[in-house]
Amino acid sequence: MFEKLNIAPGRGICYSGFRDGQQPGGLYPSYAQIKEDLLLLKEHWQYLRLFDCDQHAQTVFEVIKREKLHFKVMLGAYIEAEMNNFNCPWSGGVHDEVQLEMNSISNREKIARLAEWGNKYADIVFALSVGNEACVDWTDHYVPESKVVEYAQLVKQNAKQPVTFCENYAPWLFKLETLAEEVDFISIHTYPVWEYKHISEALDYTIHNYHAVAHKYPHKTVVITEAGWATNSNGRGIDPNHVNESYQKIYFEMLMAWAKKENILTFFFEAFDESWKGSHEPLEPEKHWGLFKTDRTPKLAVKHLHPTTLPTH
């Protein structure tokens, strides 16, 4: 797999550095904060996945270059809704026509920026993603497959890196066949705990998800761009009894061992908890996927990465 993408074997992690009081479109992490994060991660991960061509990504690139870090980055463009999704199980799936048109214009600008930054940071960026979870049935930012295909074509025309689209495994199995042929490799997300699986079923379920897509597209490389285990839940969507730091540690270690053995590039979701996500409830699962808490203290899975054990810089 790594040979097909022309990259060296290594471990990947999803990185979004927004701390308490910060969020996309609001206050962004500073250079010093992102430097602190990347120094925490640099000895243990070689690949970062960034979600958008925004101020956060720009600072990440600045830190990598200035501090001479050796990360390779999958850069994404976070495309917004261009169609209403009345199946979205929470508010946010329905928009007025003016907003949808504005999103379409903004998306096209983001896609142009994605290719531009791929060229600008060609020594760091190894792959480009034209969206994130925009085609799955439950998304609140639905974009029709035909438009995602168009975006993939635009980036391929204007940048040299391989192009992908990051999506839950299920749509690849029944409705994204055209897009699958257009992208250079397929990126899947697999979350057993969101599908009510106990930790004892977790790795087998992830492996099943991966092979289902890989068998459907045997001529395509398949990468796992999100797989993780939450450590808290308010009971909405995830059984609180199924999530804690011990279970996250088990899933993390099993997944990484399997990915290394099978030579499958896998990005664990995610590096740090993000308190801006989801509802205002403190135990909202969306806030608790990090291997580190928002104050950068490590959870059980990465206790050995505690800052006191890191070399000084």
What pLDDT sits at residue 311?
40
Residue 168 dihedral angles phi and psi, to the nearest 5°: -50, 145
Residue-wise pLDDT tens digits, 211-270: 999 999 999 999 999 999 999 999 989 999 999 999 999 999 999 999 999 999 999 999
Residue-wise pLDDT tens digits, 194-213: 999 999 999 999 999 999 99
What pLDDT sits at residue 248?
98
Number of structural domains found in the chain: 1
Report yes or no on 287 lying in a domain.
Answer: yes
Look at residues 135, 148, 12, 26 and name the one whose alpha carbon lies nearest to residue 77. Answer: 148
Distances in Å between the alpha carbon of 283 and those of 17, 56, 292? Answer: 20, 26, 16
Provide the whole-model pTM. 0.95
pLDDT above 90 for 310:
no
Residue-wise pLDDT tens digits, 21-80: 999 999 999 999 999 999 999 999 999 999 999 999 999 999 999 999 999 999 999 999
- For the beta carbon of residue 211, count every other beta carbon within 10 angstroms: 11
Report yes or no on 46 lying in a domain.
Answer: yes
The CATH code of the domain that includes 35 is: 3.20.20.80
Residue-wise pLDDT tens digits, 165-182: 999 999 999 999 999 999
**Do 286 and 278 form a contact (C-beta atoms < 8 A)?**
yes
Report yes or no on 82 lying in a domain.
Answer: yes
Question: How many angstroms separate the CA atoms of 300 and 302, rounded?
Answer: 6
Domain span at 17: 12-309
Report yes or no on 142 lying in a domain.
Answer: yes
Report yes or no on 247 lying in a domain.
Answer: yes
Report yes or no on 59 lying in a domain.
Answer: yes
What pLDDT sits at residue 309?
44
What pLDDT sits at residue 280?
92
pLDDT bucket at 2, cuts 50 / 70 / 90? low
Report yes or no on 2 lying in a domain.
Answer: no
